[in-house]
Structure 1
Amino acid sequence: MNASRKALLALGLLAPGLAAAADFDASRLSPLWGVPFAGILLSIALLPLLAPKFWHHHFGKVAAGWALAFIVPFAIQFGPALTGVTLLHVMLGEYIPFVILLTALFTVAGGIFIRGNLHGSPGLNTGILAIGAVLASFMGTTGASMLLIRPLIRANDNREHRTHVFVFFIFIVSNAGGSLTPLGDPPLFLGFLKGVEFFWTVKHIFPETLFLVGSLLVIFYALDSWYYHRREEVRPEDPTPDTRGIGFDGARNFWLLGGVVGLVLMSGMWKSSVVFNIAGTEVGLPGLIRDVGLIVITFISLRITPDKVHEDNQFSWGPMQEVAKLFAGIFLTIVPVIAMLRAGVNGPFGAIIAAVTRPDGSPDPAMYFWASGALSSFLDNAPTYLVFFNTAGGDPAVLMTTLAPTLAAISAGSVFMGANTYIGNAPNLMVKSIAEDRGVAMPSFFGYMAWSGCILIPLFIAMTFIWFR
């Protein structure tokens, strides 16, 4: 990592003119620039169904192909200088920190084995989901998901019907549970970096979170009970042998998990004037220390975790590789889409921006909730949050007070509706990949949307009438 940053720094010193080329008028872009992004989304949705063997072996090449479908025309139209600056900004400022954090959480959580054979009854499954919802706001949706997904899989490995368990796990642990603090979900962390107080979200969207998580737990318990009491639901032989008690192997990783949380929190609270300008992309000292620290923690975890713990967890890099490759394509192809959204009412997507404003010029919380939520379902929810944060004025002092209902709507929409699709939030795809790797039949892209459409959308409609009118 240090070597790559030195190389990029050298590039910035050799080509100072690149930074000056970084500005371009996104309001003049055609919506056709969004085709590569739509293409990678459709590939994720359709190819696992239409060509599963091809997708399994070549999903990285497909993602790279769509990325090139954006990069090559962009370089032809805007020149290699601007293209280089854009790619560096995406990789250094967004993608690399994103992957480093996910890798650290994936590795550390994968080094903790919850010993013992839990039996997946409706009560136990509901309890694990509730615990995960609480943990998600303090160790992140990714950390909580990676910690609990494997023991939940083992607990239900003798159940005939398991798919619904992990669909609700994505709803609750990978998304809704992370809505109360900046540590929970990337959009809230970006708000924290912009000046939103650490405990603002827990003060202002706790009722909405309690309603959503509570409703989902009740629905899940009813559905899981219905399955559980059907004939031949529980198989006679449990693949996981019983042991004497519940415990933790690799428990030293809990200290490393605390280190991850501490580094993320430090990078948001420590304000430093030391900034490295790499070809127009500013890399602050706190962020650099955070990323280096996370890499160190990742290697420490791999070093101190016994091989048996990884074997018991069936730990593999496959899910992380899938997320890293697919999100590399998503982060690149999303560039023109986010740029066109940021162009505001004068941009190609001006109708979306105009829709969130009432005739008198005041913001409409209900429209902010649905607009930020709808885009977060298919775009990365962190930049989507920033788009609407800035659309609403971008002043944290005003948004936390006078426009508090608007900021609450943006926060809730960005976090909650990330559960609508597999790509709405990074842990969604990781959970799907791990579950499938362990033999769980997960829904297809559109099959999962059918679940979210039937269960989540009615709850979001109810929330709109209760809180965001």
Structure 2
Amino acid sequence: MNPRGATVGPGVTRPRAVLVALGCGLPAVASAAAIDGAALGAAWATPFAGLLLSIALIPLLAPGFWHHHYGKVALGWALAFVLPFAALFGVGAAGAALVHAALAEYVPFIILLTALFTVAGGIHIRGNFHGSPGFNAVLMSIGAVLASFMGTTGASVLLIRPLIRANDNRKHAAHVIIFFIFIVSNAGGSLTPLGDPPLFLGFLKGVDFFWTVKHLFPETLFLVGALLALFYVIDSRYYAKEGAGPTDPTPDTPGFAIEGQFNLLLLGVIVALVLMSGTWRPGVEFVVFGTSVGLPQLVRDVMLVLVALLSLKLTPAGVHESNQFNWAPMLEVGKLFAGIFLTIAPVLAMLKAGPAGVFAPIVGLVTAPDGQPIPAMYFWASGLLSSFLDNAPTYLVFFNLAGGEPQVLMTTLAPVLAAISAGSVFMGANSYIGNAPNLMVKAIAEDRGLRMPGFFGYMAWSLGILLPLFAVMTFIWLR
């Protein structure tokens, strides 16, 4: 979630503090987001496409190389954007783009993700768990509910470990994690602004807090219910074929208990800090090489770091040992998304250029000849782009394309706003990089020794299961 500086009404003076880094010499610009997307050709999407294909193919073709050098690969593609951009548009513009990607996008993202990973990693849910189809479905149902209140990332990191532990004697468990990503890491976060970053940005723009639950509840109930039913059928078939299965590497512990309960309070603090950053509007911001950093964001991020450190200090070592807690999944997500956030900048700029950019055909698809918006096309356009791009700025692109006026979008154009919201949240499940928890859950599962499908293998599941459900939803709600 990336709250920017607060918007201040007319007549209100906004104090600014311009921070200048010593010796850098980069000129201040309006914002890296002011990259003229209309001036960019399709070739500027090559670094992002290259990184995407690297994530998809190198783990399959050269797994050993990828395991040791994925960070260097991400850095290489990032430089493939920054260096030509600096050569053509100047060092100042490239530096501003780098600062904007870091301060406005990546740093808030990685701090929030690290805090959730740390705090949830300090909670050990102990009990007599067996990875039966019924247990797995119930745990995912609980996760779907929690996702709208503590975020898809928080619910995913909290529940993925007990789910893996319950199924670690299963011969076939990858599909369990895939459905967990569908349900908990994506679909469950569609009912409140706390659930997923796109909805939070809509809330910052003026969309009522409870608007999404009023307008997306039927669609969410259908999608989550259908996925749970499909999962139960598929998992029951696997479960029946497996029989007794191998010896359980983590024997069940009698009774139920939550260890590291202090971290539950810290999870609540994280949710409160995120909500605070979107509602507290002191009108104070700092400008760093053209990128605005609002005081609420600064306070939130500093407090999130303190929360993570407090969790590490107060969590008993035994809890971390029981969770097999380590930093490998966080490092993988952090390095890959650093490259993603930078290489995605020109792609988003070209999208924001609308009819003047190379993605003008996409813009044309969402509008009828009479100039009226087409909700179904907004759903599919925002959704398919959110499958591979950062779904939060993608949401904003289509939010603004539909007029950007929250009062109109919540009333007259409510079907359009619902379509944008549903597409941005639901279709984040289409690929591993569609939503941050997807890659996080995959990394945690692989760190625990579970063999997960590759990039295209995962998409075979998502395209075969999710797209038909999205087509049904279009027919029912978006005609």
**Other-structure match for 2:248:** 238
Residues 1:394 and 2:395 are matched in the alignment: no
Which range moves more in the overlay, 267-276 or 399-408? Answer: 267-276
Bigger share in helix: 1
- Cα offset, 1:226, TM superposition: 1.2
Specify which of 240, 255, 258 is matched with residue 265 of structure 2.
255
User: Under a length normalisation based on structure 1, what TM-score does the superposition of the two structures give?
Assistant: 0.96
- Give the conservation status (yes or no) of the 8 Å contact 1:160–1:233: no
Specify which of 94, 106, 114 is matched with residue 105 of structure 2.
94
Residues 1:175 and 2:217 are matched in the alignment: no
**Other-structure match for 2:227:** 216
Specify which of 298, 302, 316 is matched with residue 306 of structure 1.
316
**Other-structure match for 1:129:** 140
Specify which of 398, 407, 417 is matched with residue 417 of structure 2.
407
Distance change >3 Å, CA 24–CA 136, structure 1 → 2: closer
**Other-structure match for 1:61:** 72
**Other-structure match for 1:188:** 199
**Other-structure match for 2:354:** 344
Residues 1:110 and 2:121 are matched in the alignment: yes
- Cα offset, 1:407, TM superposition: 0.4
Query: What SS does the corresponding residue of 1:18 show, helix, strand or coil?
Result: coil
- Give the conservation status (yes or no) of the 8 Å contact 1:12–1:278: no
Specify which of 352, 361, 364 is matched with residue 374 of structure 2.
364
1:407-446 → structure 2 map (5 Å cutoff): 407-446=417-456
- Give the conservation status (yes or no) of the 8 Å contact 2:387–2:427: yes
Which range moves more in the overlay, 157-166 or 200-209? Answer: 157-166
Q: CA RMSD in A?
A: 1.5
- Give the conservation status (yes or no) of the 8 Å contact 1:161–1:233: no
Rounded Cα–Cα distance in structure 2 between residues aligned with 1:315 and 1:287: 28
Distance change >3 Å, CA 425–CA 24, structure 1 → 2: closer
- Cα offset, 1:346, TM superposition: 1.3
- Cα offset, 1:115, TM superposition: 1.1
- Cα offset, 1:9, TM superposition: 2.4
The one-letter amino acid of 2:276's match is: M
Rounded Cα–Cα distance in structure 1 between residues aligned with 2:334 and 2:83: 22
Alignment gaps of 5+ in structure 2? 1-16
Rounded Cα–Cα distance in structure 1 between residues aligned with 2:24 and 2:56: 42
Residues 1:41 and 2:52 are matched in the alignment: yes
Rounded Cα–Cα distance in structure 2 between residues aligned with 1:8 and 1:234: 65
Residues 1:9 and 2:19 are matched in the alignment: yes
- Cα offset, 1:13, TM superposition: 11
**Other-structure match for 2:4:** none
Distance change >3 Å, CA 62–CA 16, structure 1 → 2: closer
- Cα offset, 1:21, TM superposition: 8.1
Number of aligned pairs?
A: 462
**Other-structure match for 2:218:** 207
Residues 201-256 of structure 1, C-alpha deviation per residue, up to 9 Å, x if partnerless?
Answer: 000010000000000000001111111112x4332522222322010111100000
Specify which of 251, 261, 279 is matched with residue 289 of structure 2.
279
Distance change >3 Å, CA 314–CA 20, structure 1 → 2: closer
Residues 288-333 of structure 1, C-alpha deviation per residue, up to 9 Å, x if partnerless?
Answer: 1111110110000000001111111001101111111000000000
- Give the conservation status (yes or no) of the 8 Å contact 2:203–2:209: yes
- Give the conservation status (yes or no) of the 8 Å contact 1:28–1:348: no
Alignment gaps of 5+ in structure 1? 1-6
- Give the conservation status (yes or no) of the 8 Å contact 1:228–1:234: no
Residues 51-97 of structure 1, C-alpha deviation per residue, up to 9 Å, x if partnerless?
Answer: 00000000000000000000000000000011111111111011100
- Cα offset, 1:16, TM superposition: 7.8
Which range moves more in the overlay, 112-121 or 256-265? Answer: 112-121
- Cα offset, 1:280, TM superposition: 1.1
